[in-house]
Amino acid sequence: MSTAMRLTFALLFLLSSHALWASEPLQQAAFPAERDHLQLKTQTVLTYLWVDLYAAAFYTDAGVSPRDAVGQMRDQRLELYYLRAIDRNDVIKAAWATLERQQPPEKLHALRAEIEPMEANFKDIQPGDRYALNYSAEGGLVLELNGKQVYRNHNAEFARAYLGLWLARDGLSDDLREQLLATE
């Protein structure tokens, strides 16, 4: 067998094994097809420096695309299933660095008083933990940790900014954003 053929087979093997490997975290997360009245639209894995950090799922109402749910602030749920331990301070630092990149200083200053009480509910993340952000016009933004509500805020601008960490331009990961907002 020629060197070129061996390299081709090796590359095909690596590509096919990556597809299987990438699906494993989603199987581990086992996102249900429906949460309350919202339907699972997309799911993906955030990988940083070849390490899977978390699986993410995005839910909206039936018939509403992820992009429309975000753009029109319709009912939505972003759920994260963590695959690695992460210190709460690292989460907070990453969130603030992203918010500072995304928001004008005056808006960020106005939101600070609402962000800090939410961050007070953050815990060190362990593998298997689930954080979720649920938004509805009636209920506002609800932060859940492992299925329990730990924070609620009724300010729609706060909800847009915080969900924007994952779902707006210049967020934590452009690839993650595009995969979560993909059309069904």
**Is the distance from CB of 60 to CB of 73 less than 8 angstroms?**
no
Q: Note the pLDDT tens digit of each residue in 46-104.
A: 998 889 999 999 999 999 999 999 999 999 999 999 999 999 999 999 999 999 999 99
Predicted TM-score of the model (pTM):
0.86
Query: Quick one: CATH architecture of 30-180?
Result: 3-Layer(bba) Sandwich (3.50)
Q: Note the pLDDT tens digit of each residue in 133-158.
A: 999 999 999 999 999 999 999 999 99
**CA 146 to chain CA mean position, Å:** 15
Output the six-digit token pair for 122: 């953050």
